[in-house]
Amino acid sequence: MDVKYYLRERFFPHMWCAGCGHGIVLNALVRAVDGLGIKKRDMVMVSGIGCSSRISGYVDFHSLHTLHGRALAFATGVKLSKPSLNVIVPMGDGDALAIGGNHFIHAARRNINITALVMNNRTYGMTGGQFSPLSGVGTKATTAPYSNIDREFDTVELATGAGATFVARTTVYHVKQLQSLLKKAISHNGFSVLEVLSQCPTYFGRKNRKGSAVDMLNSFKDGTVPVGSKKKQDNPELIERGVFVDKILPEYCEAYAELVERATAK
């Protein structure tokens, strides 16, 4: 496939640091869209603010780069007003789950057919490495110099609890799985959440002595296991990858179409 067909070359080079994981997500994303055969004019990318959010400008889709935390709210307006569009919302961990937490749980509750991509590097990269709600206790950040006391969300559990009908997790090390989960998430008819562990060597890596980008990628390999793996029982520290929830419940735009039928039948 021709990756460039999906990119806005005019806007390159991109602004990410060397070794940032976000470029891998971009690569997997365009391959997933290509694999699904979706036309570019039917794709909308809505993002918020942060390093991850810049992904929307680089793709040759309709792209809406919005406010910090509010991408899902804008996306809800796009999707409900024109349900034929495929809407993907790439977000950072702070963007999606701190300032955007309310929109995240409510989009999940509505089960609106949007794909939420949480690119989790456990830090606020763009503002220089502050701790996020996914950093976790004991991590270091510019705003947690004495080590972090804030407990973290588990994105998968949060999304599941809020009612998302497709929930999955992988890492940028597992590129093939990333592509295949992206395809599944985009094809899913309902609110889908895909958490992608991604590295920020510039801030999270440096602050927490995680080594180079390659070291961080290797830690994704060593620190994760497929869902249901026996290894997890022996070592609860391991993070599971794969599909956690995949079910069909009434989708919001379809439910709305039925509501219109009720309202107009008289």
Partner 1 sequence: MSKKITFVQGNEACALGAMYAGLDFYAGYPITPSTEIAETLAVMLPAAGKKFIQMEDEISSMCAIIGASLTGNKVMTATSGPGFSLKQEALGYAVMAEIPCVVVNVQRGGPSTGNPTHVSQGDVNQARWGTHGDHSIVALSASNHQDVFKMTVEAFNIAETYRTPVILLFDEVIGHMREKLIVPEEGEIPLVARLRTSLKEGVNYHPYLPREDGRLPMSDFGDVHRFNVTGLYHDMWGFPTDKPELVQELLRHLIDKIENNVHKMTFYKSYFLEDASTILISYGSAARSALSVVKQRRNRGESIGLLELNTIWPFPAELVRECTQHADLVAVVEMNVGQLTQSVKLAVGTQKRVHLINRLDGQMIIDKDIKRILRILQGRGI
Question: Tell me, what amino acid is at 261?
Answer: E
Q: Is residue 18 packed enough to be buried (19+ CB in 10 Å), middle (13-18) or exposed (0-12)?
A: exposed
Q: Give least dist CB 129 to ligand SF4, A.
A: 7
The contact set with ligand SF4 (CB under 6 A) reads: 16-17, 20, 22, 51, 121, 125-126, 200-203
Secondary-structure percent of the chain, ordered helix, strand, coil, rounded to 5: 45, 20, 35
Measured from the CB atom, the residue of 40 and 232 that comes closer to partner 1 is: 40
Question: Of these partners, partner 1, ligand SF4, none, which one is at the site of residue 220 (CB under 5 to 8 Å by kind)?
Answer: none
Comparing CB distances to ligand SF4, the nearer of 89 and 162 is: 89
How far apart CA 50 and CA 66 sit, in angstroms, is: 10
Least distance from partner 1 to the Cβ atom of residue 166, Å: 21
The CA distance from 65 to 204, in Å, is 24
What six digits make up the tokens of 41?
A: 């004019």
Q: What is the DSSP string of 188-208?
A: SSS-EEEEEE---IIIIIHHT
DSSP structural state of residue 134: T
**Smaller CB distance to partner 1: residue 8 or 151?**
8
- Asked if 98 touches partner 1 (CB under 8 A), the answer is no
In the complex, least distance from residue 251 CB atom to partner 1, rounded to whole angstroms: 14
Neighbour-count burial of 239, counting CB atoms closer than 10 A to its CB (0-12 exposed, 13-18 middle, 19+ buried): middle
Beta-strand runs (E) in the chain: 43-47, 62-65, 86-92, 115-120, 123-124, 130-131, 166-171, 192-197, 224-226, 239-246
Among ligand SF4, partner 1, none, what does residue 40 contact (CB within 5–8 Å per kind)? Answer: partner 1
Name the binder of 51 from partner 1, ligand SF4, none, CB < 5-8 A by kind.
Answer: ligand SF4
The binding track of 77-96 with respect to partner 1, each residue x by CB under 8 A or -, is xxxxxx-xx-----------
Residue 60 is a binding residue for partner 1 (CB under 8 A): yes
Which positions touch partner 1 (CB under 8 A)? 8, 10-11, 40-42, 44, 46, 56-57, 60-67, 70, 72-82, 84-85, 102-103, 106, 256, 259-260, 262-264
